[in-house]
């Protein structure tokens, strides 16, 4: 499955990717923020040390990351209804 990724928020630590949050349109009017980081969390994907940013990584996060509060990570997004 290919996810419609609308926006991304990427955090770095010591020059390496630490956390990626993607804003994804799962279906029409169903927009969610999905996150993965380098810390293992049971049942969710984590980002491998030294991971390279690419479309495949973003798609994997959208499919297997943990849902988080979208307005916290994308407070000014035009995709989120106020």
What confidence tens digit (pLDDT) does each residue in 24-64 have?
999 998 999 999 999 999 999 999 988 999 999 999 999 99
Please report the pLDDT score of residue 82 as a whole number. 61
Indicate yes or no: pTM above 0.75.
Answer: yes
Please report the pLDDT score of residue 1 as a whole number. 80
Distances (CA, A) of 62 to 32, 48, 69, 73: 9, 16, 14, 15
Average pLDDT, the chain: 95
Q: Does residue 67 surpass a pLDDT of 70?
A: yes
């Amino acid at each position: 499955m290919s996810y419609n990724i609308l926006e991304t928020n990427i955090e770095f630590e010591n020059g390496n990717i630490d956390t990626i949050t993607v804003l994804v349109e799962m279906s029409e009017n169903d927009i969610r923020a999905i996150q993965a980081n380098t810390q293992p969390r049971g049942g969710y994907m984590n980002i491998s040390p030294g991971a390279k940013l690419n479309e495949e990584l973003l798609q994997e996060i959208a499919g297997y990351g943990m849902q988080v509060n979208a307005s916290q990570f994308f407070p000014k997004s035009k995709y989120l209804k106020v």
